[in-house]
Amino acid sequence: MFRVHRTDGDARRGELVTPRGTIKTPVFMPVGTLGPVKGVTPGELREVGTQIVLGNTYHLYLRPGPDIIENAGGLAEFTGWKGPTLTDSGGFQVFSLAPLRKITEEGVEFRSHIDGSTHFFTPEKVVEVQSRLDSDIWMPLDVCTPYPCDRAYAKDALLLTERWAQRSIAFRPNRLFGIVQGSVYEELRREAAKRLVDMDFQGYSIGGLSVGEPKHLMYGITEVVTAELPHGKPRYLMGVAAPEDLVECVARGVDMFDSVLPTRNARHGTVFTFEGRLTVRNAEFADDHTPIEESCDCYTCTHFSRSYLRHLVKVGEILSMRLLTIHNLRFMTRLMEQIGKAIEEKRFSVYRKEFLDKFINGGQR
Amino acid sequence: MFRVHRTDGDARRGELVTPRGTIKTPVFMPVGTLGPVKGVTPGELREVGTQIVLGNTYHLYLRPGPDIIENAGGLAEFTGWKGPTLTDSGGFQVFSLAPLRKITEEGVEFRSHIDGSTHFFTPEKVVEVQSRLDSDIWMPLDVCTPYPCDRAYAKDALLLTERWAQRSIAFRPNRLFGIVQGSVYEELRREAAKRLVDMDFQGYSIGGLSVGEPKHLMYGITEVVTAELPHGKPRYLMGVAAPEDLVECVARGVDMFDSVLPTRNARHGTVFTFEGRLTVRNAEFADDHTPIEESCDCYTCTHFSRSYLRHLVKVGEILSMRLLTIHNLRFMTRLMEQIGKAIEEKRFSVYRKEFLDKFINGGQR
């Protein structure tokens, strides 16, 4: 169940009710592909303000497998993250396996990236696995297109995605979002959105973006799709989370985001601040005994200096990955909280301009 | 300042007062070679009951260097671990660099294992660096012998170690322990202990053991050395921390221990329990939804199952290193607390037998 409480232009402030709790939107979802968000505990996720975590059906299906997770009592009991989880279908991962996969009308055969074993995903099976994981929001199996991708291919992929969506919702409709594909072709995207809306999903995902296309296309397609989606359902832009993209796509009516970007950047030593990005290993921080960001209330900023964090990164200490991940996750929730408040107070367009001025002009140090 | 409160046979229960707090002995000191104990925060160290951490002068001298740590306000401010720290001299590391080091009467010239740059450590310089790090207990520069090592070489190394000890204590006596060397030669060890006791250090370390010699020699030499040391000063057996060795060497009068073993084992997926060692990735734990150890109160055992931890180890997730490190560190403090209590209650010899029966017979699963 989803409700929009306030709007400001196309930006929305709302609430999404899931079996494991209510999520305030707009929301960023950290990625825990294999269960954990890499390097951090469920307690740390809560502490930085995480509302919902994203898991991956393909990866969890292969390791540790749905039997073990079901025996544990579901993903929440297995991982210790007791809040809501959204599981991606694994469509994106399976289609990245080319040429190790074969698409048919029935589903997709693929070979495991771990041990080469052969598996077959149907739309029904992917929903069933997610049901056994007992995650709170499910994604149907879809056909992801690369970029660039010619129109005919994009259209065929889209039509198959729609037939699979129909089978998924017929199999088990609760907790299921529809995924709008159609590459960078506005007409295909519009038609896809309309047909999925007719099927009446719990929410709508925008897939196939952030795969290499220029930013103006990502923003443009997002705008085209959200215009077709019903006001009263949540919209989730898959795989997008650069801070500037978040702000731009909230402005275009998106409610939910996920990406490994903030956590992967952290593990590689890059952190976000409201004044731009910092490369922690830079020599300029060697003797800098101030925190990453004075205004930040995260564990890392309240306990450690740039100098110490740089030392940890330089010597390859795994603690640095955790501490920088905590900061970047807290940055994302602070950003989303500020965006939400700006929408509530009908000053989002001013906030958007001010944030982008500082963040983009701050550049990367 | 050190006081022995109770004895039981040769085992001792005491208290060591340092500038940053009082330590109950016997104590195990986790190793934070480069500052952090790998993968865990100062808060987690406190939570598992850590009383004192060990840093390494050689490593910290090279990275980040004493200037940066001094500018931070010392090692405690730099790393956030505000409790006591003992710094090793780096003698062991420097002598492991052969043939990249040259010993003279004055000191030792060596080439950095990081960038090949040339450095010169004198006994005075090593004490001065530790004074700048502002650690709580200092080790003098010593000459470490390998195993096996012929008697003539061991004797020469020992005599130089003693002359360096004399220079160290003359340079700055406070916070300094003497290090007893002498390889596996009982007569050399006895003489060395006597001469260092004459110099009147704050405490005495037993160096050059756990370098490949059989266990009966490690225990035998420890016994020979502690017999020569004054009752009222702490005794520190360097680099030894297998649980069975801890119990055996407390029985021989040792008060302090350190080793990377519990933390390194954890990062490689091996944990200690009072019923023996577990290899977490073993298939038998795949669907085992119980904690590592039912009786353990650590964060890992109270939040996660063997099944989940095995999954984390199998997929190479860095969170597993942290969680297993927390368990092993808590195991070590629980073991030391039990030992201390057994000494207080004059039942250490029974405790020793019962612990070894269960731990050794538990074997490795």
Q: Where are the domains of chain A?
A: 2-258, 266-362
Residue B226 has pLDDT above 90, yes or no: yes
Q: Say if the ipTM goes beyond 0.90.
A: yes
Residue of A nearest to B319 (CA): A39
Length of chain A: 365
Q: pLDDT by residue (tens digit) across B316-363?
A: 999 999 999 999 999 999 999 999 999 999 999 999 999 999 999 998
A170 and B CB contact within 8 Å: no
Looking at residue B91, its pLDDT comes to 86
Going by DSSP bridges, is the β-strand pair B108-111/B118-121 parallel, antiparallel, or unpaired? Answer: antiparallel
- Taking the C-alpha atoms of residue B240 and residue B229, their distance in angstroms, rounded to an integer, is 19
Q: pLDDT by residue (tens digit) across A55-83?
A: 999 999 999 999 999 999 999 999 999 99
Task: Please compute the mean of the pLDDT values over residues A287-291 and round it to a whole number.
Answer: 98
Burial letters A73-105, b for 16+ CB under 10 A, else e: ebbbbbbbbebbbbbbbbbbbbbbeeeebebee
**Taking CB atoms and an 8 Å limit, are A64 and B314 in contact across chains?**
yes
Residue of A nearest to B318 (CA): A39
Looking at residue A237, its pLDDT comes to 98
Residues of B in contact with A310 (CB under 8 A): 64
Looking at residue A91, its pLDDT comes to 86
Residue B76 exposure: Cα atoms within 13 Å on the Cβ side? 14
Residue of A nearest to B60 (CA): A311
A80 and B CB contact within 8 Å: yes
Residues of B in contact with A72 (CB under 8 A): 289, 305, 307-308
**Taking CB atoms and an 8 Å limit, are A322 and B322 in contact across chains?**
yes
pLDDT category of residue B124 using cuts at 50, 70 and 90: very high
Which of B67, B308, B318 lies closest to A318 in CB terms? B318
pLDDT category of residue B160 using cuts at 50, 70 and 90: very high
∠ CA A201-A205-A207 to the nearest 5 degrees?
135
Give the percent of chain B with pLDDT over 90: 95
Q: Measured between CA atoms, how close is B306 to chain A, in angstroms?
A: 10
Chains A, B: CB pairs < 8 Å: 108
Looking at residue B98, its pLDDT comes to 81
**Taking CB atoms and an 8 Å limit, are B305 and A42 in contact across chains?**
no
**Taking CB atoms and an 8 Å limit, are A321 and B321 in contact across chains?**
no
B192 and A CB contact within 8 Å: no
**Taking CB atoms and an 8 Å limit, are A68 and B311 in contact across chains?**
yes
pLDDT category of residue B39 using cuts at 50, 70 and 90: very high
Helix, strand or coil, per DSSP, at residue A19: coil
Q: Which CATH code for domain A2-258?
A: 3.20.20.105
Looking at residue A268, its pLDDT comes to 98
Positive or negative CA dihedral for A252, A258, A261, A262? positive
Q: Which CATH code for domain B2-259?
A: 3.20.20.105
Residue B279 has pLDDT above 90, yes or no: yes
**Taking CB atoms and an 8 Å limit, are A36 and B72 in contact across chains?**
no
B328 neighbors B280 (Cβ within 8 angstroms): no
**Taking CB atoms and an 8 Å limit, are B34 and A311 in contact across chains?**
yes
B16 neighbors B234 (Cβ within 8 angstroms): yes
User: Is the whole model's pTM more than 0.95, yes or no?
Assistant: yes
Task: Please compute the mean of the pLDDT values over residues A123-146 and round it to a whole number.
Answer: 97
HEC letters along chain B:
CEEEEEEECCEEEEEEEECCEEEEECEEECECCCCCCCCCCHHHHHHCCCCCEEEEHHHHHHCCCHHHHHHHCCHHHHHCCCCCEEEECCHHHHHHCCCCEEECCCCEEEECCCCCCEEEECHHHHHHHHHHHCCCEECCCCCCCCCCCCHHHHHHHHHHHHHHHHHHHHHCCCCEEEEECCCCCHHHHHHHHHHHHHHCCCEEEECCCCCCCCHHHHHHHHHHHHHHCCCCCCEEECCCCCHHHHHHHHCCCCCEEECCHHHHHHHCCEEEECCEEEECCCHHHCCCCCCCCCCCCCHHHHHCCHHHHHHHHHCCCHHHHHHHHHHHHHHHHHHHHHHHHHHHCCCHHHHHHHHHHHHHHHCEC
**Taking CB atoms and an 8 Å limit, are A80 and B303 in contact across chains?**
yes
Looking at residue A264, its pLDDT comes to 98
Select the residue from A264, A280, A315 to test the B interface by mutation, using most B Cβ atoms within 10 A: A315
**Taking CB atoms and an 8 Å limit, are A64 and B318 in contact across chains?**
no
Which of A38, A41, A318 lies closest to B38 in CB terms? A318
Looking at residue A96, its pLDDT comes to 85
**Taking CB atoms and an 8 Å limit, are B287 and A67 in contact across chains?**
yes
Give the percent of chain A with pLDDT over 70: 100
pLDDT category of residue B165 using cuts at 50, 70 and 90: very high
Looking at residue B350, its pLDDT comes to 98
**B258 part of the active site:** yes
Which of B36, B68, B78 lies closest to A286 in CB terms? B68
Which of A34, A36, A289 lies closest to B72 in CB terms? A289
Q: pLDDT by residue (tens digit) across B168-186?
A: 999 999 999 999 999 999 9
Residues of A in contact with B79 (CB under 8 A): 308
Within 268-327 of B, beta carbons closer than 8 Å to A belong to 286-287, 289, 299, 303-305, 307-308, 310-312, 314-315, 317-319, 321-323
B54 neighbors B337 (Cβ within 8 angstroms): no
Nearest to A239 by CA among A258, A220, A254: A258
Task: Please compute the mean of the pLDDT values over residues B268-278 and round it to a whole number.
Answer: 98
Task: Please compute the mean of the pLDDT values over residues B247-261 and round it to a whole number.
Answer: 98
**Taking CB atoms and an 8 Å limit, are B307 and A78 in contact across chains?**
yes
Q: Measured between CA atoms, how close is B132 to chain A, in angstroms?
A: 16
Looking at residue B66, its pLDDT comes to 98
**Taking CB atoms and an 8 Å limit, are A319 and B34 in contact across chains?**
no
Which of A38, A286, A315 lies closest to B319 in CB terms? A38
Residues of A in contact with B303 (CB under 8 A): 41-42, 80
pLDDT category of residue A106 using cuts at 50, 70 and 90: very high
Residue A98 has pLDDT above 90, yes or no: no
Residue A298 exposure: Cα atoms within 13 Å on the Cβ side? 30
Nearest to B259 by CA among B245, B242, B273: B242
Cα distance from N-terminal residue to C-terminal residue, chain A: 43
Residue of B nearest to A42 (CA): B303
A113 and B CB contact within 8 Å: no
Residue B100 has pLDDT above 90, yes or no: no
Looking at residue A16, its pLDDT comes to 98
Looking at residue B141, its pLDDT comes to 97
Q: pLDDT by residue (tens digit) across B67-79?
A: 999 999 999 999 9
A319 neighbors B41 (Cβ within 8 angstroms): yes
- Taking the C-alpha atoms of residue B331 and residue B341, their distance in angstroms, rounded to an integer, is 15
